[in-house]
């Protein structure tokens, strides 16, 4: 079964609960626009050809939003599946975007930085000239194999092709801060997933149902993938929640430490060596697939799709699975895990933090002002006046450190993370309440919440009400 078929089977299940008509369901599942490009780039006097796609799953709200992936495994089906997940994701966290995704079939590790820049600019030129990248219509962000570096190259390309677009900075999100990015975007997906996990531990009924230990830090955690999402999630869990992460997996193997891995040291090591094989931090085992079958409480696939399938599902021992990656569990494996009583928090909710903060970045770009810029000093002055008044009334003198602490108003990152936390927690409550009402899995409830909102939109647009 393809990735797209897997996603659509989940859609079918929840659409049935909502009594969707066949024609509406067909429209919902269809890809609204799609481009396939062949990019020829001259490198070392030879033409190198690359195939890329950008799929817009839904234009019901514009712009459509979704990452751009660089991988040898990119194909049209996966790109369409990932675009559809973006539509459902945005609806769940109430972000006013349609869903899109793009990809280039390439192994970025085989090219130098200047070659990658030339390839990215050629790819971006094709997409921009055909309306598949624009602040108003279609806005990419980093995904597997891309980062703020690629977003900056795309931004430069867009700016040179459309110099009269005053909102040009909004053509991509996840770009560097000095080019109109937002503080906190790189960490946003991982940080959002941490908020999801914290929210789970505020719900004692879920802890009981999934047989977890009461406190987050008492549970043993395994994370697959130490890229953007996996490493930032690990960093927040380790530093803010004192979580015990006993294994981290990468494509060549996994690092295991029953007492918990020192994540800060691993991040430093990974930056220098681009691998996690550090005997000082744990035992490295070069059997990557074994990772998913280890004993643990919480398993977090944060690398790629389709890693838990009918082939290995019976060996998975986790009590709770957090789908940090998109589509890590196949439809059939999902059924098996559900029957076994494994609690699964689905991708369309879990990893939505990236698009939430991308939305803040896009709003910042099109409003041309940094969050908090106008009111910060005014608020500080008012706080000083209040402290002064209290001091006078109580005949005391507040010390300098306390004043400094209180005065530290919200900076851009604080605001972005505050909005992120709010979005993730509100969405959790909505799915949680729906689950109680429809008595289905957390995944079906998440799709239910999403599809209901999208249907409402279509009905408002004049589609027949059914």
Q: Is 61 helix (H, G, I), strand (E, B) or coil?
A: coil
Asked if the peptide bond before residue 51 counts as cis, ω within 30 degrees of 0, the response is no
Name the residue among 144, 58, 137, 159 with its Cα closest to residue 104. 144
Please select the residue that binds ligand NAD; options are 219, 354, 415, 455, rule is CB under 6 A: 354
CB-CB contact of 105 with 367 (8 Å): no
Which 27-86 residues touch ligand NAD, going by CB under 6 A?
A: none
Of 65, 101, 319, 364, the active-site residue reads: 101
Q: Does 441 bind ligand NAD (CB under 6 A)?
A: no
How many whole angstroms from its chain centre is CA 332? 24
Q: Quick one: 134 or 189, whose CB is closer to ligand NAD? A: 189
Smaller CB separation from ligand NAD, 118 or 141: 141
Candidate segments 221-229, 371-379, 440-448, 453-461, binder of ligand NAD by CB under 6 A? 221-229
Q: Residue 193 CB, nearest distance to ligand NAD (Å)?
A: 9
101 is known as an active-site residue: yes
Shortest Å, Cβ 395 to ligand NAD? 53
Nearest to 13 by CA among 438, 426, 314: 438
323 is written with which tokens?
């789908």
Cβ contacts of residue 205 below 8 Å, gap of 6+? none
In the numeric block, the tokens 């703020």 are attached to: 148
Q: Among 199, 250, 365, 413, which residue sits at the site for ligand NAD (rule: CB under 6 A)?
A: 250
Name which position in 20, 123, 153, 226 contacts ligand NAD (CB under 6 A): 226
- Apex CA 172: angle with CA 168 and CA 177, to 5°? 90
How large is the greatest C-alpha to C-alpha distance in the chain, in angstroms?
Answer: 80
Q: Report, in Å, the least distance between residue 86 CB and ligand NAD.
A: 9
Residue from 302, 348, 427, 454 touching ligand NAD (CB under 6 A): that is: 302
- Binds ligand NAD (CB under 6 A): choice among 98, 102, 108, 145: 145
Q: How distant is the alpha carbon of residue 343 from its chain centre?
A: 20
Give the residue from 92, 87, 28, 29 showing the smallest Cα distance to 63.
87
Binding piece for ligand NAD, criterion CB under 6 A, among 148-156, 161-169, 244-252, 313-321 = 244-252
C-beta of 348 vs 415, nearer to ligand NAD: 348
Q: Which is nearer to ligand NAD, 230 or 455 (CB)?
A: 230
Q: What are the CA-CA distances from residue 161 to residues 9, 124, 154, 168, 365 (Å)?
A: 41, 10, 11, 10, 18
The correct pick among 39, 68, 128, 229 for binding ligand NAD (CB under 6 A) is 229
CB of 276 to ligand NAD, least distance (A): 9
Q: Is residue 144 part of the contact set for ligand NAD (CB under 6 A)?
A: yes
End-to-end CA distance of the chain: 29
Residues 271-290 that bind ligand NAD (CB under 6 A): 288
How far apart, in whole angstroms, are the C-alpha atoms of residue 447 and residue 431?
9
By CB under 6 A, name the one of 64, 189, 210, 306 that touches ligand NAD. 189
Binding flag, residue 342, ligand NAD (CB under 6 A): no
Q: Does 87 bind ligand NAD (CB under 6 A)?
A: no
Binding-site size, ligand NAD (CB under 6 A): 24
Minimum CB separation from ligand NAD for residue 85, in Å? 9
CB atoms within 10 A of CB 217: 13
166 exposure class (CB count in 10 Å sphere: 0-12, 13-18, 19+) = exposed
Residues in touch with ligand NAD (CB under 6 A):
142-145, 189, 224-230, 249-251, 288, 302-304, 324-326, 351, 354
Residues forming the active site: 101
């Amino acid at each position: 079964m393809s990735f797209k078929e897997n996603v659509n089977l989940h859609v079918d299940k929840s659409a049935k609960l909502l009594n969707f008509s066949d024609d509406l369901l067909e429209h919902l599942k269809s890809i609204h626009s799609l481009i396939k490009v062949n990019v020829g780039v001259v490198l070392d006097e030879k033409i190198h050809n690359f195939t890329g796609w950008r799929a817009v799953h839904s234009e019901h709200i514009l712009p459509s939003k979704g990452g751009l992936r660089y991988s040898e495994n990119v194909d049209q089906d996966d790109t369409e599946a990932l675009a559809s997940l973006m539509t459902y994701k945005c609806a769940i966290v109430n972000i006013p975007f349609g869903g899109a995704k793009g990809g280039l079939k390439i192994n970025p590790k085989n090219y130098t930085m200047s070659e990658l820049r030339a390839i990215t600019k050629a790819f971006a030129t094709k997409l921009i000239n055909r309306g598949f990248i624009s602040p108003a219509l279609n806005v990419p962000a980093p995904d597997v194999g891309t980062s703020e570096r690629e977003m900056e190259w795309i931004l430069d390309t867009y700016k040179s092709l459309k110099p009269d677009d005053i909102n040009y900075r909004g053509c991509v999100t996840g770009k560097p801060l000095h080019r109109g990015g937002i503080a906190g975007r790189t960490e946003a997906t991982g940080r959002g997933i941490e908020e999801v996990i914290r929210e789970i531990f505020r719900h004692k009924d879920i802890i009981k149902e999934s047989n977890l230990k009461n406190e987050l830090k008492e549970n043993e955690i395994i994370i697959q993938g130490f890229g953007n999402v996996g490493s930032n999630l690990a960093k927040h869990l380790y530093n803010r929640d004192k979580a015990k992460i006993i294994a981290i997996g990468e494509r060549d193997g996994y690092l295991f430490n029953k007492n918990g891995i020192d994540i800060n040291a691993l991040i430093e090591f990974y930056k220098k060596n681009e691998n996690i094989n550090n005997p000082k931090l744990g035992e490295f085992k070069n059997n990557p697939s074994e990772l998913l079958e280890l004993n643990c409480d919480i398993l977090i696939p944060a690398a790629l799709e389709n890693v838990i399938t009918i082939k290995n599902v019976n060996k998975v021992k986790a009590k709770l699975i957090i789908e940090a990656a998109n589509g890590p569990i196949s439809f059939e494996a999902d059924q098996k895990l559900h029957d076994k009583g494994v609690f699964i928090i689905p991708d369309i909710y879990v990893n939505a933090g990236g698009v939430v903060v991308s939305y803040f970045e896009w709003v910042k770009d099109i409003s041309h002002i940094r969050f908090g810029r106008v009111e910060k000093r005014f608020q500080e002055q008012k706080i000083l006046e209040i402290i002064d008044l209290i001091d006078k009334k109580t005949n005391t003198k507040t010390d300098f450190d306390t004043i400094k602490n209180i005065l530290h108003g919200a900076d851009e990152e604080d605001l972005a993370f505050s909005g992120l936390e709010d979005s993730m927690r509100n969405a959790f409550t909505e799915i949680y309440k729906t689950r109680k009402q429809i008595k289905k899995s957390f995944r079906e409830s998440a799709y239910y919440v999403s599809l209901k909102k999208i249907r409402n939109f279509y009905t408002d647009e004049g589609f027949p009400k059914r």
